[in-house]
Amino acid sequence: MSIHTDLDGPENGGMSSARSAAFMASYLDSLTLVERLHRLLLDVIKDEFERVGILEINPVQALLLFNVGDNEVTAGELKTRGYYQGSNVSYNLKKLVDMGYMHHQRSEIDRRSVRVRLSEKGRGVRDVVAKLFATHASGLVARGVLDQNGIDDITTALRRVERYWTEQIRYIY
């Protein structure tokens, strides 16, 4: 991927061309890594579900169940929290309700709005994902891949990028 930009202007804090090019290369590498990590996470969940015999739902649906947790939410709330795109979450919620992983109930106030919560079957899937994540967290620490400071630094940096991108959507376009 080759992107030509002028990064040594005032919006770049006056970085030299070499530093600007190096930053751009690292930024693009980071974007690729975030995409790849998300796909790998889905693959890890898929592999775990195959191992334990959960074959009727996909990794995206499993993450949706995990993220809903013990809450009762609407599709809009999940979208607002940034977990999912609009049609994606509506489709997956409907599938999960149809398969018995979630209960749904029309709102008394706004009949167009449907609130969902996990069924017992859905809580079982949530627990499998939670256990998988706990195993990964322990493994990362035990193998010296990350410690508390390392994960805190990653989280802080990603939250800063999230805020920056959110501001770009809200205020520039």
CATH number at residue 146: 1.10.10.10
Instruction: Please tell me the pTM assigned to this model.
Output: 0.81
Residue 25 lies in a domain: no
Domain assignment of residue 145, given as a range: 41-168
Residue 6 lies in a domain: no
Residue 18 lies in a domain: no
pLDDT at position 4, please? 47
Residue 10 lies in a domain: no
Domain count, the chain: 1
Q: What is the DSSP string of 76-99?
A: HHHHHTTSS-HHHHHHHHHHHHHT
pLDDT in tens, 62-90: 999 999 999 998 877 887 776 666 568 88
Residue 84 lies in a domain: yes
CA 31 vs. chain centroid, Å, equals 14
Cα–Cα distance measured from residue 153 to residue 159, given in angstroms and rounded to the nearest whole number: 10
pLDDT at position 3, please? 46
Q: Is the pLDDT of residue 171 over 80?
A: no
Q: Is the pLDDT of residue 7 over 60?
A: no
Cα–Cα distance measured from residue 107 to residue 162, given in angstroms and rounded to the nearest whole number: 32
Percent of the chain beyond pLDDT 90? Answer: 63
Q: Is the pLDDT of residue 5 over 90?
A: no
Residue 106 lies in a domain: yes
pLDDT band at 173 (very low <50, low <70, confident <90, very high): low
Residue 15 lies in a domain: no
Residue 36 lies in a domain: no
Max Cα separation, the chain?
60
Cβ burial of 93 (10 Å; 0-12, 13-18, 19+) is buried
Beta bridge partners of 151: none
pLDDT in tens, 8-62: 455 555 678 989 999 999 999 999 999 999 999 999 999 999 999 999 999 999 9
pLDDT at position 23, please? 95
Q: What angle do CA 102, 106, 109 make, to 5 degrees?
A: 140
